Structure 1
Amino acid sequence: IAIDALIRGGTLDIGAEMRDGASEIVVRASGPKLAFDEDIGHALQGELDPAQLSGRTAPAHMLCLLAEQAGGGLQYQLSPDALVLGAVLPQPDGLIG
């Protein structure tokens, strides 16, 4: 989703960490021009009515459902120079570390 927003190229940064019993994943896309349909962001956050799903928003909706089923959540933040996508998921049992 983030790389599709970089229509004129740019930088994609990915980070992940374990904190307070949760896995946090962040993807940041930055570049000279971003193209991001905020309906996709609303689908990621579970704010899009399922009747409004389309071929562009369905994958984001599916990711939202998977995150919710795991006990976590997704969010996005769009600014003129960056798109930040984040996920927080509970730490699974049996993880080493």
Structure 2
Amino acid sequence: MLQSKAVIATEHASKYLQQLCKHFAHKVSVDYDASQGKVDFPFGDCLMRADETSLTIECAAKTDEELARAQHVIDDHLARFAWREKPQIAWNV
């Protein structure tokens, strides 16, 4: 499994985690609470953890293409939900 991780500095980490998970739950299996979440995409899994200062997201997938797709889906949706903050997302592989 290939993995990547991003840590996004934000005071609204729990809010964004819950928004992302609630949104994805309409199409895929999701398990979450205010501080952590797990999203099972067909192309990979993403784990999220929220604390007072950051949102940490870890994605895992079988191929480079699937990992890139998981990252893109997270990037795209987080940018929409956090448009006021314009979060900087840097994935570390």
TM-score class normalised by the smaller sequence: 0.3 to 0.5
Structure with larger Rg: 1
Greater share of helix residues, 1 or 2? 2
Structure showing greater relative contact order (alpha-carbon pairs closer than 8 Å, 6 or more residues apart):
2
TM-score normalized by structure 1?
Answer: 0.40
